[in-house]
Amino acid sequence: MKFVAFIVVFLGFSTIVNARNTPLQRVEREDLYSHFFNINSEDNCKGSISCSMLRRHLIRDSKNCLMDPTDTEVVSNYVSTSAARPSKISGSISYLGVAPGKYAYDIYLDSEGKLNVETSIYFKNINEFSARQIESLKTKMKRASDVWTNNNRFSANPVKFHLLLAKSRSEAKIVAKLKRKFTRGPYFSRWSLSWSASTIAHEMGHMLGLDDEYSNNPFGGSMAKCSYNSVMCNSNSGRPQDYQYYLIFRRMLCQ
For every residue of 177-233, DSSP letters joined together read EEESS-----TTTEEETT--HHHHHHHHHHHTT----SEEETTEEE-TTS-TTBTTT
Whether residue 242 contacts residue 204, with contact meaning beta carbons closer than 8 Å, is answered with no
Q: How many CB atoms lie within 10 A of CB 81?
A: 12
pLDDT in tens, 223-239: 667 888 999 999 999 99
Closest-CA residue to 166 (of 193, 126, 208, 206)? 126
Whether residue 33 contacts residue 42, with contact meaning beta carbons closer than 8 Å, is answered with yes
Q: Which helix (H) or strand (E) holds 17?
A: strand 16-20
Percentage of residues of the chain with pLDDT beyond 70: 67
Whether the predicted pLDDT of 30 surpasses 70: no
**61, 250, 248, 228 alpha-carbon torsion, rounded to 10°:** 80
- Predicted local distance difference test score (pLDDT) of residue 115: 83
Q: Which helix (H) or strand (E) holds 131?
A: helix 131-150
Q: What is the three-class DSSP state of 235?
A: coil
pLDDT in tens, 48-105: 788 788 888 888 898 876 544 333 333 223 434 554 567 899 999 988 878 889 999 9
pLDDT in tens, 179-215: 999 998 899 999 999 999 999 999 999 999 999 998 7
| Cα→Cα distances 6→51, 75, 130, 194, 213, Å | 18, 13, 49, 41, 26
Residues in the chain: 255
| Cα distance from N-terminal residue to C-terminal residue, the chain | 27
Q: What is the three-class DSSP state of 156?
A: coil
